[in-house]
């Protein structure tokens, strides 16, 4: 039982590493890289490498939070925002031309 859990954790780590590699592989199409970056962040959260806060990082409301990537070249650098703030953040990134 214990061994099984450790193997699952290890499998997740291996998957995380693979998606990190894909997300940073400049030869891959952008949509593949962004998808892997999102997946890597989700895995990192499951593994406890990233901690999900109780409330939105911007407005501090306790709503359902979404992970916002400022830059997909940093897959594990995310900000937890509510839906409203996430929309604002996305429009900021679009405006900067790096979305
Ligand atoms: Zn918010």
* Domain span holding position 43: 2-96
Residues with Cβ within 8 Å of residue 61, at least 6 apart in sequence: 55, 82
> How many whole angstroms from 32 Cα to the centroid of ligand 1?
28
> How many whole angstroms from 80 Cα to the centroid of ligand 1?
9
Count up the domains in the chain and report the number: 1
Residues with Cβ within 8 Å of residue 1, at least 6 apart in sequence: none
Per-residue pLDDT of 17-28, as tens digits, reads 999 999 999 999
Q: What would the DSSP string read from start to end of 11-63? A: HHHHHHHHHHHHHT-TTS-HHHHHHHHHHHHHHHHHHTSSPPPSS-TTT---S
> How many whole angstroms from 96 Cα to the centroid of ligand 1?
20
Per-residue pLDDT of 28-75, as tens digits, reads 999 999 999 999 999 999 999 999 999 999 999 999 999 999 999 999
Backbone conformation region of residue 77, classed left if phi is above 0, alpha if psi is from -120 to 50, else beta: beta
């Amino acid at each position: 039982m214990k061994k099984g859990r450790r193997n699952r954790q290890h499998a997740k780590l291996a998957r995380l590493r693979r998606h990190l590699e894909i997300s940073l592989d400049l030869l891959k199409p952008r949509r593949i890289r962004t998808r892997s970056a999102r997946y890597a962040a989700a895995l990192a959260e499951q593994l406890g490498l990233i901690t999900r806060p109780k409330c939105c990082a911007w407005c501090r409301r306790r709503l359902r939070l979404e992970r916002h990537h400022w830059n997909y070249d940093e897959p594990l650098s995310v900000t937890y925002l509510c839906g409203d703030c996430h929309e604002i953040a996305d429009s900021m990134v679009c405006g900067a031309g790096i979305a």
